[in-house]
Amino acid sequence: LPQVLKRFAMLKKGLILVTGPTGSGKNTTLAAMVDYANLQRQDHIITVEDPIEFVHRSQNCLIQQREVGVHTRSFAAALRSALREDPDIILVGEMRDLETIELALTAAATGHLVFATLHTSSAAKAV
C-alpha cells in the first residue's frame, strides 16, 4: 500500500473519495485501506456495499459488513443506521444518489472517517 494511502487510512476523520471508471481499482484500493486500518488501529469499521466484494475478518478492529438488498434496503438507510452505532470508519461502496452523498458528508463532518467510491470518467466530473 503506498504511503499516502497508509496516511489516509490512519486519519481520525474526513472523507476519502476514490474515483474512476469501472474496473479501475476503486474497491480494491478501499479494501486495501480497510485491511491496513484493521491491522494498525483499534476501531469500529462499518462497510456498506452492493455487493460485498471483499470479506474482511476483524483483527484489531471490529468490522461489520452490510450488503444493500441483503442487510439493508439502500446505501442511505445503511448510513443512517451506521451513524447510530458509533463507528470510527465508514466505507460506502458507491455514492449513487444525493441522499447518500449528504449522509456521507455529514458523517465526515461529525468526526467519522468515511471511505467512498464515485464512478466517474474524469477528475473534473468527480468534482
pLDDT tens, 60-119? 999 999 999 999 999 999 999 999 999 999 999 999 999 999 999 999 999 999 999 999
Provide CB contacts within 8 A for 65, sequence distance 6+.
Answer: 46, 47, 49, 52, 55, 56
CATH number at residue 27: 3.40.50.300
Instruction: At 51, list the grid cell.
Output: 455487493
pLDDT at position 32? 99
d(CA 35, CA 70): 23
Q: Count Cβ neighbours within 10 Å for each residue of 48-79 and write b for 16 or more, e otherwise.
A: bbbebeeebeeeebebbbbbbeeebebbbbbb
Number of domains in the chain: 1
pLDDT tens, 27-43? 999 999 999 999 999 99
Which range marks the domain in which residue 54 is found? 3-126
Bridge partners, 18 (sequence order):
117
Cβ–Cβ under 8 Å, residues 26 and 20: yes
